[in-house]
Amino acid sequence: MSLHSGKRLKGWALVPLAGGILGLCVLPFFVRAYLIEVVMMYFIYIILAQSYRLIVTVHDWQLYHVVLYGVGAYTSGMLAKSAGVPVFFAIPLGGLMAALVGVAITTPLLRTKGWGFYIATYGLAELIRLSWLKFRNPFGGSTGIIDIPWPPVVAGIDFSEGVPYYFFSLGVMLLVLYFLYRIEKSHLGDSFKAISMDPDLAASTGIHIPRHRLMACAIGGFFAGIAGGLLVHRLGAVDPKLFNLVTMLYLLIWVVVGGTKTFWGPIIGVSVMHTLFELSRPLIQVRPLFFGLSMTLVLIFMPGGIEGVLLKVVARWQKRNRLPTAET
């Protein structure tokens, strides 16, 4: 079976998945504290990239996703700091706020299409980001917000420590991936894809396109906000620089390099590109050049991303073994 069939993972396909999760569970006991922090960022970025992909399945390549990530971070951080909301409640509330902001941005833009839509989303996102910078009260201006309360001790486990927070964010990531995977394999997920493949046909079969676009935007925004909440309670601070266009470009690089056709593409994209990012720390001056170039080369030479190459390999292998061909 190929990665891109409508069918769910079953049987032997679950083995590598279980192995991977097990690996992530034992990892923190074998590596230095620094590396635990690094791996946590992968979890956060995978949530971010995966939630973005959901929106991309309805073909809305909006450019405000990273700002929603920021909305989640600011909301969760401010609720915890100023309103005393417990961290584990503040995070989902941040997600909710991000979903609301996403819907508020997208609703007036539903009539725009293609480039008009992409650019308008960027404009509105920039408006939000600039207001974080300009309003010292309550957003803290260019220095952001510091001294955000740490996560509490629950059942004797101190979640402000590295390892417990690692497991907390791993758990949240797996839960988010599970929800998104269910959407992916549901009728709703197929409706989203139908809209991006042929909107006129989709509408002619009764699919309410604006409603579905808003739904994708709200669900994706919610999980982006969750990612922001996870980030801010590990850092103990919000820095507006984390949510600027550069981060948006990295997000685009992850999903373009990984691919968006299958559920696994963005995970591959984050795993590969963020690893390269970490490894290239010593070459910091050439890093932007390298990443810009890598996205361009991928777009030119492997438009389906790494995932696309894997799909081709699998298809060829199936052909050689005369297996029934699945969707490619």
Partner 1 sequence: MGACDCAGCQDALLALWIDKMGETGPVAILEVKGLSKYFGGLAALKDVHLTVREGEIRGIIGPNGAGKTTLFNVISGMYRPSAGEIFYAGRRIDGLPANKIAALGLVRTFQRTALYHEFTVLRNVTVARHLHVRESLFQVIAGNLKQKERENTEKALEIIEFMGLKHLVDEVAVNLPHGYQRALGVAIALACEPKVLLLDEPLTGMTPTEKGHMIDLIRKVHGKDITILIVEHDMRSVMELCEYISVLDFGTLLVEGPPAEIQNNEDVIRAYLGTEDILTVGQS
The footprint of partner 1 (CB under 8 A) covers: 4-6, 179, 182-183, 186-188, 190-191, 193-194, 197-198, 200-201, 203-209, 215, 219, 261, 324-328
- Considering beta carbons, is residue 194 or 217 the nearer one to partner 1? 194
For residue 99, report the phi and psi dihedrals to the nearest 5 degrees: -65, -45
46 neighbors 173 (Cβ within 8 angstroms): yes
- Considering beta carbons, is residue 6 or 86 the nearer one to partner 1? 6
HEC letters along 231-243: HHHHHCCECHHHH
- Considering beta carbons, is residue 24 or 326 the nearer one to partner 1? 326
Measured CA to CA, the distance from residue 217 to residue 170 in angstroms comes to: 24
Q: How far is the CB of 48 from partner 1 (least distance, A)?
A: 19
- Considering beta carbons, is residue 207 or 314 the nearer one to partner 1? 207
Structure tokens of 139?
């957003």
For residue 33, report the phi and psi dihedrals to the nearest 5 degrees: -55, -35
- Please name the amino acid found at residue 318: Q
Q: How far is the CB of 278 from partner 1 (least distance, A)?
A: 33
Measured CA to CA, the distance from residue 179 to residue 215 in angstroms comes to: 14
- Considering beta carbons, is residue 186 or 280 the nearer one to partner 1? 186
47 neighbors 70 (Cβ within 8 angstroms): no
Q: How far is the CB of 2 from partner 1 (least distance, A)?
A: 10
Q: How far is the CB of 317 from partner 1 (least distance, A)?
A: 17
Assign 157 to helix, strand or coil. Answer: strand
- Considering beta carbons, is residue 85 or 173 the nearer one to partner 1? 173
Q: How far is the CB of 205 from partner 1 (least distance, A)?
A: 4
List the beta bridge partners of residue 158: 153
End-to-end CA distance of the chain: 10
64 neighbors 122 (Cβ within 8 angstroms): yes
Q: How far is the CB of 75 from partner 1 (least distance, A)?
A: 22
